[in-house]
Amino acid sequence: MPTTLTTIRARVRQDLNDEDSANYRWTDNDLDRHIAQAVRELSIELPRQRKSTLATVSGSRDISVATLTERLSIEAVEWPTGNYPPTYVRFQTWIDTLTLLTDAAGDGTNTAVYWLSLHTLDATSSTLDAWAEDLVAVGAEAYAGLEWASYAINRANVGDDAAGRYRRDAEARLQQFQDGLRRLGRAGSLRSTNLYRPADLKPSQTTDPGPG
């Protein structure tokens, strides 16, 4: 059975001991919001790697990348495609337009665009690995616990430390989540990106000393 948002939400409810459907402490919408926050934060450290085929426009160096939704960054553009080794070209992006910094303008042939995006966790599918789904659940549990503790702290009965217990548990889960994200960040920093650099748009510096 594939993992879905419903699967993760049920896991979060189980870990938070919130499985009495007649008396939920958190609504589905509340938990979905906390899960989405955890997915977004994990995606920043370990984004989804994607490759899309986009056609060039004859006589133009501009290509629309509006269809690359949930995009974090574009890492490389291969054009023309099919060469070995691959032919990566310089480019720049502005909002939803990718501009090829090439001598030749587009000719209608395809580019291969390598890009990073947020992960997807919805009602039908997940792009996360199983271990990453576990980490997302921990993050969502932390945010849910902190929300409830903040809401309950002024409503607790005298001598009732329920809000305090929830906050301490939530802070421990948050620490576990953040530690996991830091490990992902270190792992991500080891990825080689030599072939995936966009153009450096800083003004060029000449080393010509001029006439002697």
Q: Where are the domains of the chain?
A: 5-45+120-189, 49-117
Q: Which residue has the tokens 């902190």?
A: 146
Which residue from 202, 42, 27, 207 is spatially nearest to 128, judged by alpha carbons?
Answer: 42
Q: What is the pLDDT of residue 1?
A: 67
Better-predicted residue by pLDDT, 163 or 36: 36
Using pLDDT thresholds of 50, 70 and 90, give the confidence band for residue 148: confident
Which residue from 94, 98, 109 is spatially nearest to 58, judged by alpha carbons?
Answer: 109
Q: Tell whether the model's pLDDT for residue 195 goes beyond 80.
A: no
Q: What is the pLDDT of residue 138?
A: 98
Bridge partners (DSSP) of residue 121 are 126
Find the range with the poorest average confidence among 77-91, 146-160, 175-189. 146-160
Tens of pLDDT, residues 21-67: 999 999 999 999 999 999 999 999 999 999 999 999 999 999 999 99
Cis peptide preceding 203, ω within 30 of 0: no
